[in-house]
Amino acid sequence: MRTLKLLVLAFLALAAPVGASAVDAPHDLSQFSGECMACHQLHNAIGTALTSQATLSQTCLTCHSTSSLAWTTGDQATLGVSGIHHRWDATAVNATVGTVAPLDAQMAQRVIAGKLECAACHNQHAANKAFAMPGAMRTSIGVGVPAKRTNPPAGATTQTLTLVSAASTAQVKGYLVRVTGANLLAISHDGGLSWSRPGAPNGSSWVADAATPVGGTYAAGTDMTLDDPALVIRLSAGAATGDEWKFYVSYPMMRSNNSAGELCLQCHAERNQKHLEIESGGDGVKRFSHPVGEVLGANGKGYDRVTAGVPQHLDTDGSVQGANTDSNPTNDLVLGVNGVVGCTTCHAAHGADSNSQSVDPH
């Protein structure tokens, strides 16, 4: 009986829709069905993780190969030849490129039959903000870009929701925004199972709403703070009852800490070098890399560019870093937490080529 009870509980845990507390946006109820069965199947599963596809990566690609940034097998990197993505089907241990099995136990568990999976680096269930590089927040609609309604009535598509601002303190959360009546608004984080409404027109307070939301007053064309104060939206005039918008705020869903590019070193351990190792001379065998895990100017020898007494890195064309005066934010050099240089300062695992002057799709 105890065994049967445990099996029943396990079934319920897999079969029931997963709320935001168990799966983070955008893989939760706020944007999709949120059901475990979207990726898993209890019986006769093809994959070893009870997945509907033969591998974890193939399960990811059932959605990600048709997204706005399509990931295709042919776009994986072939060393020295082509590609814009780190491989997700390569062997983890490769003497040619100096890689080893990941040191992190959770990452190592997702190396199946010696091969990498998307899930080795990414946790499809959790978008841990603490694991993300500074500035790695993702929003499904661009900040300052008006988004049209999800399901507009026939012939009426002009009403928009604009994500006016999204501060770096934003929480991982998905949003369903619905107009419930004349100048009335409600939001849901679980695809409409539960609702909140603004307690004041500018969203300065939020309260629980009914299962069929009544909504609270909003003012068209006026900035409104959501129940996460880091997010501000604005609805255009003319929205009709039943109009909806969906968007989410998330982070890159890293499986291990990557706040300063450390996750790369899980496999590329030989690249974990400080300036003292590099400047001490070689043994004729070890391959040297740019120092990582240190701030600019760490060696005190004045190698790094200095502006007003502060180490300063510039963009590819010599413009001030981060100013995007070259209209290409994808080649900005991003320092990790506490200002350290990491692998991901110069490299991107996805959507990047070897031409630093091109605009990459990541």
Q: What is the DSSP string of 240-302?
A: -TT-EEEEEEE---BSS--TTSGGGGGT-GGG---HHHHHT---SSPPP----SEETTTTSSS
pLDDT reported for residue 30 = 85
Distance CA 45, CA 239 (A): 45
Measured CA distances, 116 to 56, 87, 120, 229 (Å): 10, 8, 6, 39
Distances (CA, A) of 81 to 74, 76, 78, 150: 12, 11, 5, 41
Tell me what pLDDT residue 157 has.
Answer: 65
Instruction: Give pLDDT, residue 309.
Output: 67
What's the confidence (pLDDT) of residue 362?
A: 61
pLDDT at 244: 92
CA distances to 84, 97, 121 from 117, rounded to whole Å, are 17, 18, 8
Predicted pLDDT of residue 154:
61
CA distances from 140 to 22, 321, 360 (A): 20, 25, 18
Q: Is the C-alpha dihedral spanning 143, 340, 106, 55 positive or negative?
A: positive
Instruction: Identify residue 137 by its one-letter amino acid code.
Output: M
**What separation in angstroms does the CA of 93 have from each of 27, 86, 262, 292, 350?**
30, 14, 18, 22, 20
Of 314, 335, 338, 337, the closest CA to residue 326 belongs to: 314
Tell me what pLDDT residue 222 has. 93
Residue ranges in the chain whose pLDDT is less than 50: 1-21
- Give CA separation, 144 vs 162, 163, 253, in Å: 6, 6, 24
pLDDT at 102: 95
Task: Report the candidate in 362, 351, 360 with the shortest Cα–Cα distance to residue 85.
Answer: 351
How many angstroms separate the CA atoms of 211 and 200, rounded?
Answer: 20
